[in-house]
Amino acid sequence: MINVLVAGFKGSMGNKTIHMVANNDKFKLAGVYNPVVTEKNVNEVAEFADLDVPVYTDYEQIPVNDIDVWIDFTIPSAVYQNVKFALENKISVVVGTTGLKDEQIVELKEIAAKNGIGGLIAPNFGISAVLLMQFAKQAAKYMPDVEIIEMHHDNKLDAPSGTAINTAKLIAEVREEHQQGNPEETESLDGARGANYEGMHIHSVRLPGYVAHEQVLFGSKGEALTIRQDSFDRESFMTGVALAVEKIGDYNELMVGLENLL
């Protein structure tokens, strides 16, 4: 039995996660964490009251020796501290929260290595997104002119999405840095050409009704290729989260990308 703590349990992803954990025979929901919790808002979380699980609001309260895996679906400004706390206390981590900076990931990797603890940071737990990133990396070898459009619900805090940044990083591994578009181009409205990652432009769309979607557009002389994935329901991420929780105890390093466990 794997004892799991869920940080961010009141949020859209956290709520799905506590139910996935509670309904999986191999996992025990050993606790949930959020620094700001009141009885009222705990009971607003669908069916949470029926689960009878300890709610921790302070790191000090967490029985670290009784937790095997820390799942994090919180916010960009909280995730680094949370993951650092877990790794320092020898708890494996499964991190879905986006917005970690490269230098923070380097530091967290060092802590995991020092303590011999496994962890996974997955910008996207959906298999369609993992495949999109792999296919885009393959295509970029032959079609190096590329732009990325990511589309999300309008409550998302960070832009561009972690998946878009990871897509750009994977493409950059196989593509020489080069500027695209007319070298003389100007923006008559700021931001019109989107963010720029090593010459690749990334555009972020935020709309109600959307969940998480991405298109990678390749253009070449007389032809184009578009790769697209859609996550229509947050439930689609749960298979990847469950897989990570089950496997992460076998590792002693912090990895980025679900493909490391597939």
Binding site for ligand NAP (CB under 6 A): 7-8, 10-14, 33-36, 73-76, 78, 82, 96-99, 122-126, 156, 212, 237
Tokens standing for residue 193: 């050409």
DSSP state of 189: S
CA atoms within a 13 Å half-sphere pointing along the CA-CB vector of 6: 24
Of the pair 76, 219, the CB lying nearest ligand NAP is at 76
Q: Is 178 a catalytic residue?
A: no
What phi, psi does 119 have (nearest 5°)? -160, 155
Q: What is the DSSP string of 22-42?
A: HT-TTEEEEEEE-SS--HHHH
Q: Is 39 annotated as a binding residue?
A: yes
Least spacing, CB of residue 257 vs ligand NAP, in Å? 10
Say if residue 163 carries a ligand binding annotation. Answer: yes
Question: 28, 84, 109, 156: which is the annotated catalytic residue?
Answer: 156
Tell me if residue 152 is catalytic.
yes
Least distance to ligand NAP from the beta carbon of 262, Å? 14
Give the C-alpha separation, 62 to 76, whole Å. Answer: 22
List 147's β-bridge partners, or say none.
Answer: 201, 217
- Backbone phi, psi, residue 89, to 5°: -100, 20
Tell me the closest approach of the beta carbon of residue 36 to ligand NAP, in angstroms: 5
Rounded distance, CA 146 to CA 68, Å?
A: 41
Structure tokens that stand for 201 in this block: 């432009």
CA angle 164, 169, 173 (to 5 degrees): 145
Q: Among residues 19, 152, 169, 203, which one is catalytic?
A: 152
- The CB-of-74 to ligand NAP minimum distance in angstroms stands at 4
Cβ closer to ligand NAP: 41 or 196?
41
- Does 27 count as an annotated binding residue? no
User: Active-site residue numbers?
Assistant: 152, 156
Binding site feature residues? 8-13, 39-40, 96-98, 122-125, 153, 162-163
Q: Which residues line the annotated binding site for NAD(+)?
A: 8-13, 39, 96-98, 122-125
Annotated binding site for NADP(+): 40
